[in-house]
Amino acid sequence: MVDGKYGLGIVGFGGMGSQHGRMLEDNQKIRVVSVCDLKADRLEAGRELGYKTYEAFEDILQDAEVDIILLATPNHLHKDMAIDAFEAGKHVICEKPVTLNADEMRDIIAATERTGRKFMVHQNRRWDNDYLTVKKIFDEQLIGDVFNVESRIHGSRGIPGDWRHVKAYGGGMMLDWGVHLIDRIIMMFNEKLSKLYCEFSYVWKDECDDGFKLLLTFESGKTALIEVGTLNYQSLPHWYVCGTEGTASIRGWNLEGEMMRLESFEEKDAKPIVAGAGFTKTMAPRGEDSVVKLPLPIVESDVREFYANFIDVIEGHAEPFIKNEEVLHIMEIIDAAFVSAETGEVIKF
């Protein structure tokens, strides 16, 4: 510890690693003391912030001021680095995805049990306001009993131009964004998964998936569609939520959206309409008296709770917000999604 604070060493001082540094600037219990990276410009950025710098991972593990290692390295390095850190007596925070597959996560869990070190994955998008808002709608049945949720992220810039293009490094959108979206859906539904079906897209002709569609079916019969696309110049809503008494949508990052809640199911004045080249009563729009538009119940959050919880876990004061068993389950689902995409089969749980 340094001046009564836990010393933290950041391994991988790129975009996400430096973001952790900014988030911890005023932390009362954690102080960033050193960074490790192979790139000279990142090491220089660390020195300008007053951190000790290391090129070799083995050297930062020998830093006596470092109590916690934060891994923000390419995905394929997480398992071995985490286990090496445990054996050096360090606790570990790891960026997502935790590993390339469920078996690697099992190895990490076994190493924590052997060494007694603490490990937590930074599933930071559990703190996204849009997700927490949808979860409130779901939990409090603000549009009745929710039976289907669509969660999607659309962009148009392809896969970032770095190691995320390389399959051996854990590239692709399933491991980049899928790990977040699946995690949030599983936490929201909070019931056993029955089956899944997945299709990958390779529009950019790369070796890694540049998008996917994943359909999850739960034991209750409720469903969730998770979709990521990287060649979408017009985006569908981030969230589209169907309940027995209404529908909610959130169209983008700025929480634009609303709930449409049913006031009266029986509408006597429902009249057939001309629809394209046909005629329908089933799809006729509802009158103003039968539904009401309501604002979204916005939920605010602070992701810095993550770091405070990690220290509480180290000191034995709390259970982890993000449990290793939960992360393992997400990796099992991702493994199954890869199998489904490869075989074209529905995978049953």
Q: What is the pLDDT of residues 261-272, one digit of tens each?
A: 998 776 566 788
Dump pLDDT digits (tens) for 186-228: 999 999 999 999 999 999 998 999 999 999 999 999 999 999 9
**Per-residue model confidence as pLDDT tens digits over 36-52:** 999 999 999 999 999 99
Question: 32 pairs with which residues across the strands?
Answer: 8
pLDDT bucket at 61, cuts 50 / 70 / 90: very high
Peptide bond connecting 297 to the previous residue in cis, omega within 30 degrees of 0: no
Report all structural domains of the chain as residue ranges with CATH numbers, in order of start: 6-124+303-319 (3.40.50.720), 126-300+333-348 (3.30.360.10)
Q: Residue 206 CB: number of other CB atoms within 10 A?
A: 17
Which pLDDT value is given to residue 266?
A: 66
Give the pLDDT confidence of 73-132 residue by residue, as tens digits: 999 999 999 999 999 999 999 999 999 999 999 999 999 999 999 999 999 999 999 999
The amino acid sitting at 328 is: L
In tens, the pLDDT along 234-244 reads 999 999 999 99
- In angstroms, rounded to a whole number, what is the distance separating the alpha carbons of residues 99 and 220? 30
Given a contact cutoff of 8 angstroms between Cβ atoms, the answer to whether 142 and 261 are in contact is yes
| Structure tokens belonging to residue 131 | 């997700």
How high is the pLDDT of residue 269?
Answer: 62
Cβ–Cβ < 8 Å for 71, 78? yes
pLDDT in tens, 276-292: 998 888 888 887 778 99
